[in-house]
Amino acid sequence: MSDQRFAGKTAIVTGASRGIGLAIAQRLVDEGARVVITARKEPALQAAVTQLGGPEHAVYVVGGADNTAHQDAAVAAALENFGSVDYLVNNTGINPVYGPLMEMDVEAARKILDVNVLSALSWAQKVHAAWMGEHGGAIVNLGSIAGLRPAPGIAFYGVSKAAVLHLTEELAVELGPKIRVNAVAPAVVKTQFATALYEGREEKVAAAYPLKRLGEPDDIGSVVAFLLSADAGWMTGQTLVVDGGVLLGGGA
C-alpha cells in the first residue's frame, strides 16, 4: 500500500492467529507496522506470521492473554525485535458458555472477566511501563454491541464487554495526553469465534441489519487502524460501533 501510516512503528495484537485479530495485524503490516501477535496455539501463529510476510514484519509469542508472564514476554519480544511498543490492540476475548445467567457457572464468569477485562488492564499496564508512558502511543480495545444492549444467551460476555468499554474511558482519562485509548464495538463478524451466532442461518441473521450482511474481519481491521493512526489524533475514550446498522433497528 502507498499509505504507510505506521512505518517504523510496532504493535502488539492479542488473539491474532486468525479472525479479527489477524485482519487487524494484516492491515497494520500493510501500512508499514511491525507486529507482535499472540494466541494460545503455536501452529496457527506460525501460519499467521507467514501470511504477514515473515519475521521482518511479524513475530509471535504463544500464551494465554491473561497470563502476566506471557504479557511480559510479548512486550519483551516487541522491544527486542523491533525496538518499540507504539500500539496495543486488546483483541482477545472468550465466551465459553451460552445460556441464561441463572444457570451460569460462576467460575466461568470469573474466567471471562479475567480474560476479557482484567487482561486488557494488565496489558495496558505492561506497555505503559515498558514504552508508552515515556514515548506515548495508542491503545484500542475490542468491545462488542453485546456490551451496549442486553444480549440473551451471551449475557455475561456482554457484561464483560460493557466493562471493557468503561475501562477504555477510564484509561483515556488517566493516560492522556501521551496515550490515546479507544474501543471498537462490532456486531456479528464472520469468524470461527462467532460461528454459533449465524451458522446455517446467515441470511436470516443478516436480514436484521440495514446493510443486509454480517461483518467481515477486514471491516474491523480498517477501523482499528484508523483509531491507532494520527487520523484519529483528537479522539480518545471513544467507542466506534461497527455493526452494519443493526443497533438502529431498521432491519426487515
Give the catalytic positions in this structure.
157
Measured at the alpha carbon of residue 47, what is the angle toward residues 46 and 51, in degrees to the nearest 5? 120
Sheet holding 179-186, edge to edge: 58-62, 34-39, 10-13, 87-90, 137-142, 179-186, 239-242
DSSP states along 171-218: HHHHHTTTEEEEEEEE--BSSSTTGGGTTT-HHHHHTTSTTSS-B-HH
Q: Yes or no: say if 221 and 24 are a contact pair by the CB < 8 Å rule.
A: yes
Query: For 7, which DSSP code?
Result: T
What is the DSSP annotation of 83-136? S---EEEE--------S-GGG--HHHHHHHHIIIIIHHHHHHHHHIIIIIHHH-
Position 216, amino acid: E
Can you tell me the distance from the alpha carbon of 175 to that of 160, in angstroms, rounded to the nearest whole number? 22
DSSP-based three-state secondary structure for 62: strand
DSSP for residue 79: H
